[in-house]
Amino acid sequence: MKKWILFLCMGMMLQFARAQYELYPTNWWVHMKWNQVQVLVRAPGKDLKTQTASVQYPGVKLEKVSRFENPHYMVLHLAIGPAARPGIVNIKIGKDVVQWPLGSRRTGNGTAFANGATSADLIYLIMPDRFSNGDPSNDRVPGMRDQSLNRDSVFERHGGDLKGVEDHLDYLKDLGVTAIWLNPVLENDMPDRTEHGYAFTNHYKIDPRIGGAPAYKSLVRAAHAKGIKMIQDAVYNHTGLEHVLFRDQPDSSWFHRWPKFTQTNYKDQAVFDPYGSKIDRKIMEDGWFVPSMPDWDQSNPFVQTFLIQHALWSVEEFGIDGWRVDTYAYNDLPFMNRCNQALYNEYPRISIFGETWVHGVPNQSYFCQNNYAIPFKSNLQATTDFQTLFYGIIPAVTQPFGWTEGVNKLYTTLAQDFVYKDPMRQVIFLDNHDLSRFYSVVNEDTAKYKLAFAWLLTGRGIPQMYYGSEVLMKGTTWPNDGYVRLDFPGGWKGDAQDKFTAAGRTEKENAVFDYIRALANYRKRSSAITSGKLLQFAPYDGVYVYFRYDDRQTIMCAMNTNNKLATIATSRFGEVLQRFRQGTDVVRGSRVALGDSLALQPMSNLVLELQ
């Protein structure tokens, strides 16, 4: 009995010690290439400057202890050798013992997970709070700063969660989706505007209001079981004001500091301008994005390692397949190269694309792998391709045709692909959570909308569509961006309409849904579209013709951006069409003869598989 009481007391003491300490990363794995692990220890209310630290675990060596101005922190530099086995590493700090799990690695690197999004995929972007509420019990979580729950407000939380996404995986698979990109899932314990998730407050917690880590792991498992990849949203540039490492900073070198608040100038040109001033570049890179988002100082080696280890930890812990990196151009770019390389080393098939909301192909291509002979060379695989959006498909469907206007802009922008190392990795899109919905951009003209989607699903690169686009969700960023982040109708119990079902959609919505689904599922089977080459012909009279082809298949895409019927002479495309006599309309299934001319319907994109 005395022995049992002794064990109970010891167990309670260990529990108490664990509760007093926060360890980042919370756990690690044996046989990782990243085997020199920086464990950041935080113990509020304790003076760690006076405490010794030791580790006694086979294969794990404590090489060094780093301390900071703030006595609540220390860093343990652990070397995890090849002989280390999974188990619980007991870390002794002063008289306390803190447990740190060391696990076995996830199996299936590059196949079951970390498999990367490619041009064979269709990415579907979801804001979890606005897609579907699968578990109402987590709508409000006691103790969190934002207790709003008001679907009548575009600013406040609505209650959507990860279970809601999991509940609709069959819907997405039927639509032709092969990868899901979620807006940030990490804890965002800010006092307001927390629906988007871009102001982290704890890197090692999944936000409990969308279901926490259990719901995230369940979603990733369920998605993978259906052949759907998962892409996580990373934010390296900044964090939220309420982040534990900002509110209780290890020292003054973890975040960029200015004599008075200084916002970034948003001038990406300052980063690569050969004539640029140092102060413009400093403000661009070190200025805060907005007042509520402190800017990490990525020249600090502890900050670098903290962010890199979190990226590696997320892939191994949750089994994600790729990364979308927020505000990529505002980061310290040499640091981003190091972070990307650490991910490539550990997960060779992982994919990474960065948000580069810039203007101009040279500007955009500077931030990813390119063919320039310049001092800085980015190792980022690709970017979100704002150029083919702003200077491509939008003018193609909204501007009258001219020498440099209309669809000529799409042709011209694509002609500059020679600057990219691999343009097929570029992520093309029509809209996202920061932009007006494309259906509103084209003034709810379904002909223009379908034309644009035909380009999205047959163009070069990796297509990404925004949740609800398939059911004609609309909204503009004026008067505020909340109107492009509305709820998916049918995602909440009691919704008047359920757009997840054909019965809940209007005739017009079903026509567009069926069109997108037909093309999306066709592209999955098309080697020419998913991995083939692009051949484009200069537009004439508002008609733009391009081909996707490989050794097995040739696809002809004829885009008529006029509001009237167009008839084109096929002889101009003889270098391709001389081998073919007819084609199959991949959406309607009808045969189309390739004679001397081809008739194109007004504002349409005819997609033919040639025979």
List the catalytic residues: 326, 355
Close Cβ partners of 161 (under 8 Å, ≥ 6 residues apart): 128, 129, 132, 133, 134, 135, 138, 209, 210, 211, 215
Q: Which whole-number Å values give the CA distances from 410 to 11, 363, 425, 469, in the listed order? A: 66, 17, 18, 21
Q: What angle do CA 586, 590, 593 make, to 5 degrees?
A: 105
Q: Which whole-number Å values give the CA distances from 9 to 15, 43, 89, 93, in the listed order? A: 10, 22, 20, 19
**CB 192 within 8 Å of CB 143:** no
Distance of CA 436 to the CA centre of its chain: 18
β-strand pairing of 186-187 with 582-585: unpaired
Which pair of tokens denotes residue 404?
């440099």
Q: List Cβ<8 Å contacts ≥24 apart for 267-270.
A: 268/329, 268/356, 268/358, 268/363, 268/367, 269/363
Residue 12: phi, psi to the nearest 5? -65, -40
Q: Which amino acid is at 154?
A: V
Which pair of tokens denotes residue 455?
């380009």
Residue 466's closest CA among 169, 127, 228?
127
Residue 381's closest CA among 231, 266, 197?
231
Helix axes 507-525, 446-458, angle to 10 degrees: 10
| Spatial distance between the Cα atoms of 192 and 598, rounded to a whole number of angstroms | 56
**CB 569 within 8 Å of CB 517:** no
Among all chains, which residue has been given the structure tokens 């109107």?
A: 483
Among all chains, which residue has been given the structure tokens 């080697």?
A: 527
**CB 431 within 8 Å of CB 475:** no
